[in-house]
Amino acid sequence: MRRLTIFFLCVFLVGNHDIFAQTNYSTYEEYFEKINPTSFKEAEDEFSKAVVLNPNDIVAYNKMGSRIALDDGDQAMPFFQKAIEINPHDTDAYNNIGSMYARSLNGEEKAISYYKKAIEMNPLNPDAYINLGSILSAKRQYEQAIDYFKKAISINPDLAYAHYNLGFLYHSLGQEVEATQSFEKAKVIYERKGLDRWVRMTETVLFSVNNKEIKN
């Protein structure tokens, strides 16, 4: 049987990437489907206003770091570190630092450590579970990765990309019934949210799984 190429969608950074604008886009897919990041200058201006009003605004530091990370991860790190300096229990900052290490050469173990710290700070942070599951899947630790994706889903069953990635993990283990069920759940959520591109992509994956046509 030929297998699907594993393709994981990762949240990576916590913080709406359009930075301070008021939007209703709460998921990874909605962001890429419907909006574009603000310019760096706009983000910088809004950040400056936010920290003048409140120099200890950890949300502002996380959001600015997330915007900078789109261009330069090294320059983003001090913003996340500042958030932790302000609040050592800030789960989002630990998650974001983990994501910076996940993107760096040989940074996997540090990434895992920071994701676990994010979970320690807030056991109900689904993004950290998803990111940890994604990095473990890249290390082919599929059973552990499944546990983390399932935990994220138990916190928020509406995370379509968690169901989607879980489908690939099950497929990697040859558990095709479970894989199909996960992809179907993802498709239903995408349809409900009106994310047509992601619906089509999931339909393609389902067709391939059911017809056993694609491989690693």
What's the pLDDT score for residue 212? 66
Taking only the tens place, the pLDDT of each residue in 130-150 is: 999 999 998 999 999 999 999
Domain positions in the chain are: 28-211
CATH architecture of 28-211: Alpha Horseshoe (1.25)
User: CA angle at residue 200 from 138 to 146, to 5 degrees?
Assistant: 30
Copy the structure tokens of residue 117. Answer: 């710290």
Residue 151 has pLDDT above 50, yes or no: yes
Check residue 36 and give its pLDDT.
Answer: 47
Averaged pLDDT for residues 9-34: 41
Helix axes 142-155, 126-138, angle to 10 degrees: 160
- Per-residue model confidence as pLDDT tens digits over 18-29: 322 222 333 445
- Residue 44 pLDDT exceeds 50: yes
**DSSP string computed for 131-192:** HHHHHHHHTT-HHHHHHHHHHHHHH-TT-HHHHHHHHHHHHHTT-HHHHHHHHHHHHHHHHH
* Sole residue written with tokens 């969608």: 9
Comparing C-alpha atoms, which of 66, 149, 72 is closest to residue 80? 66
C-alpha atoms less than 13 angstroms from C-alpha of 89 in its C-beta half-sphere: 3
Q: Are 148 and 136 in contact (CB under 8 A)?
A: yes
Q: What is the pTM of this model?
A: 0.80
Distance CA 140, CA 44 (A): 39
The percent of residues above 90 in pLDDT, for the chain, comes to 54
